[in-house]
């Protein structure tokens, strides 16, 4: 029987179907179906007691779209998304290039500094910035010692701290996305440009950056999706004015128990993030199909 | 300025730039380790006095130790599940060009690109609707959703380097597929599988937003407990816990780098 099975597997793709079945079933049961139930939940009615009341209404969407509070949250989420993404991607392009150019121990160190924060919990990444950015913290001590400022600056809690925390969170993803593209680039092309008389900054801008565009596109979309959905950095390092839609969803779901509104709000946000991401992809790569992997 | 001296300045700026960034990246991790040895009640950096006080309190705390057990159990569960699903799925996609194997990779990648809050709320609604009440299993499922794409894509590149004629030779000699997989394929990709499992475990250990949505009164992972205790006060206890969490990642990264190398690892993640 097994020999027969082996021959079947070799001649046809039956074996592949059997191998793929567990993963396909898992994704269907725990990702695709839950998502459909989320859509269904957004059409239920909010209830006084309990998380929701069965129904079929667009009330949840209406209450999100009508609320000026939610407009502010959406505006702030996108603002943080844009700022953090621009800062993170520019720094990441530089750092990925440095890691690409480096050799030996230096290369290992630079890559280690990327992988380690990537595999560290968000709690640690945001919490550790607090003593650094606090009014009586390290950065302020430093600035006052140098004489750049005479009184402490409110870095955190506030917008500055939120952006620093969020950039710190998405930076490793952005570096790796760009690095994985750069690592396939042939250094000879840059050498050629230099031989033809291009200065280093110019050869970087005109040879390296275009080559890295698919990686930059992925870095931008990932950083953007993660920053618009920011939760840990604004809660830990924000002052309360820095409230994102993710923080509101957490309180809608776990504190206010208003599930239809939470579902509708997150679906509206996902839709608008998707539109922006696709536009960015188009802009950066000329086509949506240019991205192969992350 | 001559070209040579200008290039020397450019070089110096370039090097200063990335070492500065390197220092800033490592700074929070340094803060975690240093403040975990702090004596005082409130977090300050650098601390004025050092002691092992908060380590003592950590090992005396039933709440924290039970969170460690919960995290370990969930991490092992998610790691095993993600590795099995990711390795089999990756193997299938490699060797097949069916429609399913073209549709599947984007679907399994998607959870990584959605804000974790959205996945958290999606799963919370789902497990409530189907009456799935075990917080352990729910968090394992959530973390598997996240770890599987990493395993899948690491294994894609590992399998891509495997010489499939070896497998075909095994088949031609009459070995059954499971034996060929065990004796021919697996030894060649073992390090990739180990790294995948380690990455999956670390990802599960460190994730907290989905775990925050799916936790129960009795089941809380370490990052979730750290997060909730931060809301009451900023004590060095969280530094102690963070130091452990960071250390596990360092060990994991070093193990993976020793088996393959740092560059390979960076390209896979």
Residue B13 has pLDDT above 70, yes or no: yes
Residue A68 has pLDDT above 60, yes or no: yes
Residue A14 has pLDDT above 70, yes or no: no
Residue A169 has pLDDT above 80, yes or no: yes
Q: What is the pLDDT of residue A293?
A: 43
Do B122 and A34 lie within an 8 Å CB cutoff?
yes
Whether the model pTM is above 0.80 = yes
Mean pLDDT score of chain A, rounded to an integer?
86
The string over A71-95, giving b where at least 16 C-beta atoms fall within 10 Å of a residue's C-beta and e elsewhere, is: eebbebbbebbebbbebbbebbbbb
Of A19, A120, A138, the CB nearest to B91: A19
Residue A160 has pLDDT above 90, yes or no: yes
Do B168 and A10 lie within an 8 Å CB cutoff?
yes
Query: A111-131 pLDDT, tens per residue?
Result: 999 999 988 999 988 988 988
Q: How confident is the model at residue B86 (pLDDT cuts 50, 70, 90)?
A: very high
Q: Which residue has the higher pLDDT, A211 or B187?
A: A211
Give chain B's domains with CATH numbers: 65-237 (1.10.3720.10)
Of A26, A246, A254, the CB nearest to B85: A26
Residue A56 has pLDDT above 50, yes or no: yes
Q: What is the pLDDT of residue A167?
A: 97
Do B115 and A171 lie within an 8 Å CB cutoff?
no
Closest to B236 measured CA to CA, from B24, B58, B29, B28: B58
Mean pLDDT score of chain B, rounded to an integer?
87
Query: B208-266 pLDDT, tens per residue?
Result: 999 999 999 899 999 999 999 888 777 888 999 999 999 999 999 888 888 877 777 88
Residue A225 has pLDDT above 60, yes or no: yes
| Mean local confidence (pLDDT), A89-95 | 96
Please state which of the ranges A29-43, A269-283, B52-66, B100-114 shows the lowest mean pLDDT: B100-114
Query: Mutate which of B175, B236, B269 to disrupt the A interface (most A C-beta within 10 Å)?
Result: B269
User: CB-based contacts of A214: which residues, under 8 Å, 6+ apart?
Assistant: A181, A285, A290, A291, A292
Using CA atoms, how far apart are residues B140 and B248, in angstroms rounded to an integer? 19
Using CA atoms, how far apart are residues B31 and B33, in angstroms rounded to an integer? 6
Q: How confident is the model at residue A16 (pLDDT cuts 50, 70, 90)?
A: low
Residue B187 has pLDDT above 60, yes or no: yes
| Mean local confidence (pLDDT), B8-22 | 91
Strand partners, A45: A53
Using CA atoms, how far apart are residues A190 and B224, in angstroms rounded to an integer? 47
Query: A248-293 pLDDT, tens per residue?
Result: 999 999 988 999 999 999 999 999 999 988 888 888 776 544 444 4
User: CB-based contacts of A13: which residues, under 8 Å, 6+ apart?
Assistant: B95, B96, B97, B98
Query: B126-179 pLDDT, tens per residue?
Result: 999 888 889 999 999 999 999 999 999 888 888 877 777 777 787 778 777 777
Closest CA–CA distance from residue B166 to any residue of chain A (Å): 13
Closest CA–CA distance from residue A147 to any residue of chain B (Å): 20
Residue of B nearest to A269 (CA): B118
| Mean local confidence (pLDDT), A53-70 | 87
Do B263 and A41 lie within an 8 Å CB cutoff?
no
Query: Mutate which of B3, B5, B13, B28 to disrupt the A interface (most A C-beta within 10 Å)?
Result: B28
């Amino acid at each position: 029987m097994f020999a027969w099975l082996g021959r079947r597997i070799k001649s046809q793709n039956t074996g592949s179907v059997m191998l793929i079945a567990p993963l396909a079933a898992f994704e269907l049961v725990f990702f695709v179906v839950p998502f459909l139930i989320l859509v269904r939940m957004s059409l239920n009615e909010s209830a006084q007691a309990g998380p929701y009341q069965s129904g079929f209404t667009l009330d949840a969407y209406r209450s999100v779209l009508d609320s000026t509070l939610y407009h502010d949250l959406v505006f702030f989420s996108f603002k943080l998304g844009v700022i953090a993404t621009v800062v993170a991607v520019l720094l990441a392009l530089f750092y990925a290039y440095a890691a690409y150019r480096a050799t030996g121990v230096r290369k290992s160190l630079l890559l280690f500094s990327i992988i380690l924060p990537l595999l560290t919990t968000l709690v640690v990444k945001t919490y550790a910035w607090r003593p650094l950015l606090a009014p009586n913290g390290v950065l302020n001590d430093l600035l006052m010692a140098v004489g750049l400022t005479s009184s402490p600056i409110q870095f955190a809690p506030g917008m500055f701290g939120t952006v620093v925390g969020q950039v710190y969170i998405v930076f490793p993803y952005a570096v790796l996305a760009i690095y994985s593209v750069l690592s396939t680039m042939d250094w000879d092309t840059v050498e050629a440009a230099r031989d033809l008389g291009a200065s280093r900054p110019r050869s970087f801008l005109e040879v390296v950056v275009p080559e890295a565009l698919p990686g930059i596109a992925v870095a931008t979309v990932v950083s953007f999706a993660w920053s618009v959905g920011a939760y840990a950095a604004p809660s830990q390092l924000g002052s309360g004015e820095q409230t994102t839609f993710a923080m509101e969803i957490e309180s809608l779901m776990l504190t206010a128990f208003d599930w239809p509104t939470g579902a509708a709000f997150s679906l509206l946000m996902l839709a608008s993030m998707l539109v922006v991401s696709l536009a960015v992809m188009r802009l950066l790569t000329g086509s949506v199909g240019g991205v192969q992997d992350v | 300025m001559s070209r040579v001296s200008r290039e020397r300045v450019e070089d110096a700026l370039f090097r200063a730039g990335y070492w500065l960034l390197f220092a800033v990246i490592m700074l929070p991790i340094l803060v975690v380790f240093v403040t975990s040895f702090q004596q005082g009640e409130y977090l300050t950096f650098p601390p004025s006095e050092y002691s092992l006080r908060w380590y003592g309190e950590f090992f005396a705390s039933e709440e924290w130790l039970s969170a460690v057990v919960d995290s370990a159990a969930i991490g092992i569960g998610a790691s095993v599940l993600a590795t099995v699903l990711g390795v089999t799925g990756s193997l299938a996609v490699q060797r097949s060009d069916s429609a399913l194997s073209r549709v599947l990779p984007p679907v399994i990648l998607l959870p990584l690109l959605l804000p974790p809050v959205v996945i958290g709320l999606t799963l919370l609604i789902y497990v409530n609707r189907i009456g799935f009440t075990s917080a352990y299993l729910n968090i394992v499922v959530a973390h598997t959703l996240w770890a599987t794409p990493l395993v899948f894509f690491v294994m894609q590149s590992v399998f891509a380097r495997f010489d499939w004629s070896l497998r075909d030779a095994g088949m031609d000699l009459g070995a059954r597929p499971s034996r060929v997989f065990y004796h021919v394929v697996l030894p060649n990709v073992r390090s990739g599988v180990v790294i995948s499992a380690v990455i999956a475990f670390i990802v599960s250990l460190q994730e907290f937003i989905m775990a925050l949505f799916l936790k129960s009164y009795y089941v809380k992972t370490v990052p979730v407990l750290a997060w909730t205790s931060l809301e009451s006060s900023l004590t060095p206890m969280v530094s102690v816990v963070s130091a452990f969490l960071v250390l596990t990642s360092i060990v994991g990264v070093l193990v993976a780098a020793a088996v393959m190398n740092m560059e390979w690892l960076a390209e896979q993640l």
